[in-house]
């Protein structure tokens, strides 16, 4: 499916709490093996599975996600 928007992640902000992974309806988000500058394993979005619903944006306490 084609979407106009893309989900961008600001990995430096991520604290690896895993809320977005739990609330994603399509299981499109996974925790990366790599850590960011703060030492947290940041999250990655699978563009193929993502339906741009914005659930991750709404539950994220650290404003990692941006849909544009």
Residue 23 found at the interface with another protein (CB under 8 A): yes
Which of 28, 29, 43, 60 forms a contact with another protein (CB under 8 A)?
60
Residue 42 found at the interface with another protein (CB under 8 A): no
Report which secondary-structure segment, H or E, holds 22: helix 19-23
Which of 11, 30, 31, 57 forms a contact with another protein (CB under 8 A)?
57
Phi/psi at 20 (nearest 5 deg)? -65, -35
Which segment (12-20, 27-35, 42-50) binds another protein by CB under 8 A? 12-20
| Alpha carbons 57 and 19: distance in angstroms, whole number | 10
């Amino acid at each position: 499916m084609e979407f106009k928007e893309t989900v961008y992640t600001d990995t430096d902000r991520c604290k690896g709490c895993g809320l977005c992974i739990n609330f994603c309806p399509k299981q499109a988000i996974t925790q990366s093996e790599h850590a960011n500058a703060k030492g947290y394993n940041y999250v990655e979005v699978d563009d193929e599975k993502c339906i741009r619903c914005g659930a991750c944006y709404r539950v994220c306490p650290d404003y990692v996600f941006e849909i544009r």
